[in-house]
Homo-oligomer: A and B are copies of this chain.
Amino acid sequence: MDFQRLAIQYKTELLGNVVPFWLNKSQDKEYGGYFSCLDKAGKVFDTDKFVWLQAREVWLFSMLYNRVEQKPEWLECARQGGEFLKKYGHDGFGNWYFSLTTDGKPLIQPYNIFSYTFAAMAFAQLGLATGNDEYTSLARQTYDRILERQDNPKGRYNKAVPGTRNLKNFALPMIMCNLNLEMEHLLGKEFVEESAVTLIDEVMNVFYRPEYGLIVENVNQNGSFSDTFDGRLVNPGHAIEAMWFIMDLAERLDRRDVIDQAQTIILQTLEHGWDKKFGGIFYFMDAKNHPPQQLEWDMKLWWVHLETLIALLKGYHLTGSEENLHWFEKVHDYTWKHFKDTESPEWFGYLNRRGEVTHSLKGGKWKGCFHVPRGLFQCWQTLEKMTWRQ
């Protein structure tokens, strides 16, 4: 495999197509922040502002500034979004709304803990980029708020009757694996190393179910399997994304055993989640192969495929497994063929089972300036490391 050629392909797509798309099309020059609902050509079709996507774009442009090149327009893009978020994104008591109107009025209450995690990630990276303590302390305060809320992340919006079926969800420990590394400069080496032990155990020994060889999205509070719709739910893209977070953490801690386990889970999940008929990775599955509740279970989503490419390359880089290269080739071909729009920049997000585009948008309520550019960046960087070794 020609790692050098591939590294250039990922880098060129990132810097030549995707980053300029968001830089030029998404910024709201009137009120600040970003539009994320952009049609095929990049035209705004809805002006609501979703805090997940506002924060992720602040993070992305800060990260590019910190790690690729100190371009003033990247910093300014991140900074203006950060100012909008700082001013309108929370309720003044550290609670991050889910969405805002174009001029910053709160629309949807702070029911979603991931608005907090992406805000923390955004302000930590923007603090690094600007050296501005105000951003750094906002990141730190938000992190503390996440810890306070982590045992009941939905708070008063939790619809489960207490005591009947207390499940815990995979997404938060998974995101914390990534967030702690993102914020190590603020949280300290010791904290990150200590909490990593618990996080790795939670992800690899509790949510990973050896009887199925899969990670499930929900388990009972005591860590046992729940034979219910929620307990059987498998989200292959989610599990695979978590595995590269885990690999980053394990590499940082020099835990070879954990790297090997993550590598095994990536391949098992792909084997299970790959659509043998039409190609691509399913969105949702049921661990016991019952019909999933989600109507969209057989769709192919952009982020699933980009996260898988990252995981396969990191896995190869760390373990040298040839199987990763075979899978990478297959997923790479599918991804570039189906998600890349050859007519205008940024990628499609949503395909049906056959790989046909179902939503022509380039951004919406859930798709913003995040998985495509982060995926291209991570693949480019890992491929470059591999060329050094060749």
Chain A contacts to B: CB under 8 angstroms: 37, 39, 45-46, 48, 97-98, 101, 105-109, 111, 156-157, 159-161, 164-165, 228-229, 290-293, 295-299, 350, 352-353, 358-361, 364-365
Q: A39-B291, A352-B353 are in contact. Are A160 and B108 (CB under 8 A)?
A: yes
- Set of chain B residues within 8 Å of A39, measured between Cβ atoms: 290-291
Partner of A106, one of B111, B164, B352: B164
Complex: chain B residue closest to A45, CB-CB = B290
B293 engages A296 (CB within 8 Å):
no
- Set of chain B residues within 8 Å of A290, measured between Cβ atoms: 37, 39, 45-46
- Set of chain B residues within 8 Å of A46, measured between Cβ atoms: 228-229, 290
- Set of chain B residues within 8 Å of A45, measured between Cβ atoms: 290-291
A109 engages B160 (CB within 8 Å):
yes
Complex: chain B residue closest to A105, CB-CB = B164
A185 to chain B, nearest CB (A): 34
Partner of A157, one of B37, B97, B159: B159
Add 9 more A-B contacts to A39-B291, A45-B291, A157-B157 (CB < 8 A): A48-B229, A105-B161, A106-B164, A108-B160, A109-B160, A229-B365, A295-B299, A295-B350, A298-B352
B293 engages A108 (CB within 8 Å):
no
A366 to chain B, nearest CB (A): 9
Complex: chain B residue closest to A111, CB-CB = B159
B358 engages A48 (CB within 8 Å):
no
* Copies assembled: 2
What are 5 A-B pairs with beta-carbon distances under 8 A? A46-B228, A98-B159, A101-B164, A105-B161, A295-B296
- Set of chain B residues within 8 Å of A160, measured between Cβ atoms: 107-109
- Set of chain B residues within 8 Å of A97, measured between Cβ atoms: 161
A134 to chain B, nearest CB (A): 25
- Set of chain B residues within 8 Å of A358, measured between Cβ atoms: 295, 297-298, 353
A365 to chain B, nearest CB (A): 5
- Set of chain B residues within 8 Å of A365, measured between Cβ atoms: 229, 293
Complex: chain B residue closest to A158, CB-CB = B109
4 tightest Cβ-Cβ pairs between the two chains A and B: A295-B296, A106-B161, A291-B361, A291-B359
- Set of chain B residues within 8 Å of A364, measured between Cβ atoms: 291, 293
- Set of chain B residues within 8 Å of A291, measured between Cβ atoms: 39, 45, 359-361, 364
Partner of A296, one of B105, B107, B156, B296: B296
A159 to chain B, nearest CB (A): 5
- Set of chain B residues within 8 Å of A105, measured between Cβ atoms: 161, 164
- Set of chain B residues within 8 Å of A107, measured between Cβ atoms: 160-161, 164-165
A182 to chain B, nearest CB (A): 27
Measured CA separation A238–B166 after assembly (Å): 34
B108 engages A161 (CB within 8 Å):
yes
A159 engages B109 (CB within 8 Å):
yes
Measured CA separation A97–B164 after assembly (Å): 13
- Set of chain B residues within 8 Å of A161, measured between Cβ atoms: 97, 105-109
A37 to chain B, nearest CB (A): 8
Measured CA separation A157–B364 after assembly (Å): 24
Measured CA separation A68–B197 after assembly (Å): 65
A293 to chain B, nearest CB (A): 5
- Set of chain B residues within 8 Å of A157, measured between Cβ atoms: 157, 159
A208 to chain B, nearest CB (A): 23
- Set of chain B residues within 8 Å of A298, measured between Cβ atoms: 352, 358
